[in-house]
Structure 1
């Protein structure tokens, strides 16, 4: 298998330290990973599909593949619905404009899911559907999540919620970031998957958790703890003092929190001397 990516790195939306773990494992299993590379031409031949590639690491411009899978993004499916015959408004990207109750400009029509805007995730759509249904039933509710998790179902999985390090930097926030390597996790060792990483993005002033990122086996099953922490306004001490079952991968979240105070049980991180 050859992976061709036109940007300088895989999964541009995720933090680089998480992606590096995935890319290292992929590199050992794939024929090649070609970054900053584009597909110029695809031609079906008797012996397969001839792909013409262009990029800095392409040693041969034309390669033959058995199959080709293209992933070039998504767009809202708002065309052909007769929206011009209603008061419904659509933005420049094709997303249907809705209010906090998922109601469109046509008061008796609601829109949820990918067509109602990003993030285009199934669990976000389900929550929107619940809000819309409750509003239709006469309840006073609005859609206002503090955090929506994202999961990439690769091997290992990558999951994050809240602010990534890059997003924090873009907002001129200088967070404290703590990382707990799964090499120090007993459960990861028994699973023979100690290549993972759990990290917390913390507001240094309030010590509240504003982001969490995990890469490793089952990361998608673990990220909900980060969602709850952000929704409840938990600080890093709250998470560190919450007893987690041993031995489990979720312990890495607790120990990452303990690293903030330098009290992690299974991983010692020396403090840098101030100059």
Structure 2
């Protein structure tokens, strides 16, 4: 083994949390080494957030042209029936990914972060061995790296069903985002945001889609008011929904999956391909984590409000630390750790972390829902403003949705926001900012919002909670 490489901060994982931590640490003068076995950017840039949004955009454009070709448009637009060049679609999507991941590599180089391509294996809290990329079974001549601080940012991976593992007809979101060809039919196990985002894409591209969910409604992490417009959209698209239905496994001969509907006999749901989208789990295996004595919560590493683990000098961020598994959470945690390693005082105590579901229509939440606030014993005011009363929503042909604010009754302090509708993901910044700045209903309601924008619905929701709404 060659002479060890010594550094102050060693980061395992080059996803959003890891590379942001590396850049911030380098800005603060901390010698930093980043180890990544695959592509920089992690799941988000390569096989998650970015490629999925690219495919959502393609599907939306294709579906719109289909409607225009069918004469099903009040806009006066007529078009020929569209054709999809899947190879060109994937090439465009991959070019976006390459541009972003290449940008990350450039930023790391510019900030003089040492990037080591290879598979890390932890020896102890101060020592990591890195085997070259492509070495089978982590073989080859490893490079030893010693550090003062070890940051674990290994992300997450799709959850597989033990009776229906990935392979062959059974795919994860990774394969679904880079199909060699589109199947004629797709069965999706799980009606969470991943399953519904991808299911909507495939359906708009002409694939027969069925979604199987064990619980009694779609998007069970969100309240029913928010999911109602999404449910209506799925039905209008012709997506088959099988709620309160359990998947039992592949059918004999592999023509589909065996399902158990509620109060009915087992049957076979025919499908050329099966997408398992039942969630993600922390990637806590395969890199020697067990050599550290860390407090765990199942597969997740437990951390405090400074992202410290139970071992001195060992930190953890992002999906490895459990829910919410969001790239922007990992990024913020990465900055928090980097600044502490540089000697600053920081804590990770956000007022709220916005979450967005890029279904059709989109769903965004930040802070507490009315039910959550009530369960915590807080008396609240609600203000709901329907997008049907918003001029910009009308011009976008998307009035099925609303913006809702939740505030304390006694002080009018805003404690939560929710919205559903086309383009509402862009309201997430305003939601998060108002919560972080401890805004009250009056602060938002009396701020002049540009007209005509969807943002006016934010102002109107606050005014309605105050009993001062103008446009409803």
Q: Same fold (TM over 0.5)?
A: yes
Alignment of 1:18-97 (within 5 A): 18-43=226-251, 45=253, 49-56=255-262, 61-91=267-297, 93-97=298-302
Write the distance in 2 (CA, Å) between the matches of 1:165 and 1:19.
15
What are structure 2's unaligned runs of at least 5 residues? 1-208
Change (3 A) 1:199 1:59: farther
Alignment of 1:196-275 (within 5 A): 196-267=401-472
Aligned partner of 1:126 among 304, 309, 331: 331
In structure 2, the residue matched to 1:270 is none
Write the distance in 1 (CA, Å) between the matches of 2:256 and 2:321.
38
> Which is greater in Rg?
2
Deviation at 1:258, TM superposition (A): 1.0
Q: Which one has a larger percent strand, Structure 1 or Structure 2?
A: 2
Deviation at 1:166, TM superposition (A): 2.5
Write the distance in 2 (CA, Å) between the matches of 1:54 and 1:16.
24
The answer to whether the Cα contact below 8 Å between 1:198 and 1:214 also exists between their aligned partners in 2 is yes
Of 78-87 and 256-265, more deviation after overlay is shown by: 78-87
Write the distance in 2 (CA, Å) between the matches of 1:60 and 1:28.
27
The answer to whether the Cα contact below 8 Å between 1:185 and 1:252 also exists between their aligned partners in 2 is yes
Write the distance in 2 (CA, Å) between the matches of 1:230 and 1:141.
19
Deviation at 1:84, TM superposition (A): 3.4
Provide TM-score, normalisation by structure 1: 0.90
Tell me how many residue pairs correspond in the alignment.
264
In structure 2, the residue matched to 1:11 is 219
Deviation at 1:60, TM superposition (A): 8.1
What secondary structure is seen at the aligned counterpart in 1 of 2:343? coil
Write the distance in 1 (CA, Å) between the matches of 2:273 and 2:238.
15
Provide TM-score, normalisation by structure 2: 0.54
Write the distance in 2 (CA, Å) between the matches of 1:71 and 1:173.
35
The answer to whether the Cα contact below 8 Å between 1:34 and 1:58 also exists between their aligned partners in 2 is no
In structure 2, the residue matched to 1:175 is 380
Q: Which one has a larger percent helix, Structure 1 or Structure 2?
A: 2
Deviation at 1:169, TM superposition (A): 2.8
Deviation at 1:137, TM superposition (A): 1.3
The answer to whether the Cα contact below 8 Å between 2:307 and 2:315 also exists between their aligned partners in 1 is yes
Which protein, 1 or 2, shows the higher relative CO under an 8 Å CA cutoff with sep ≥ 6?
A: 2
Aligned partner of 1:155 among 335, 344, 360: 360
The answer to whether the Cα contact below 8 Å between 1:14 and 1:164 also exists between their aligned partners in 2 is no
Write the distance in 2 (CA, Å) between the matches of 1:265 and 1:59.
54
What are structure 1's unaligned runs of at least 5 residues? 268-275
